[in-house]
């Protein structure tokens, strides 16, 4: 989920991406990724971009692992 709803923001705005897991066992690990970037953006279930800039445009996804399986 995203805040604001729809994920449409202006330059300088704040964007919060949330990742929720419905089913899983054991300790869960989260990682955030951006389309076209090989770098991991963060490891917290809510990922906050405080001041959105030109380089923040694109698709984002969350990867969650419970040690046995991975979901994106």
- Which CATH number do you get for residue 6? 2.60.40.10
How many domains does the structure of the chain reveal? 1
> Residue 23 belongs to what domain range?
2-71
CA quadruple 43, 52, 6, 58: dihedral sign: negative
Q: What is the pLDDT of residues 40-58, one digit of tens each?
A: 888 888 888 888 898 888 8
pTM of the prediction? 0.75
Asked if residue 6 has pLDDT above 80, the reply is no
- Is 38 or 64 the better-scoring residue by pLDDT? 64
Residue 59 burial (C-beta neighbours within 10 Å; 0-12, 13-18, 19+): exposed
- Is 48 or 5 the better-scoring residue by pLDDT? 48
Q: How many residues does the chain have?
A: 72
């Amino acid at each position: 989920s995203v805040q604001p709803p729809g994920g449409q923001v202006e330059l300088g705005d704040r964007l919060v991406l949330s990742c929720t897991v419905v089913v899983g066992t054991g300790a869960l690990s989260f990682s955030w990724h951006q389309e076209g970037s090989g770098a991991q953006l963060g490891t917290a279930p809510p990922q906050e971009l405080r001041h959105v800039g030109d380089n923040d445009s694109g698709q984002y996804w969350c990867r969650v692992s419970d040690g046995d399986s991975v979901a994106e």
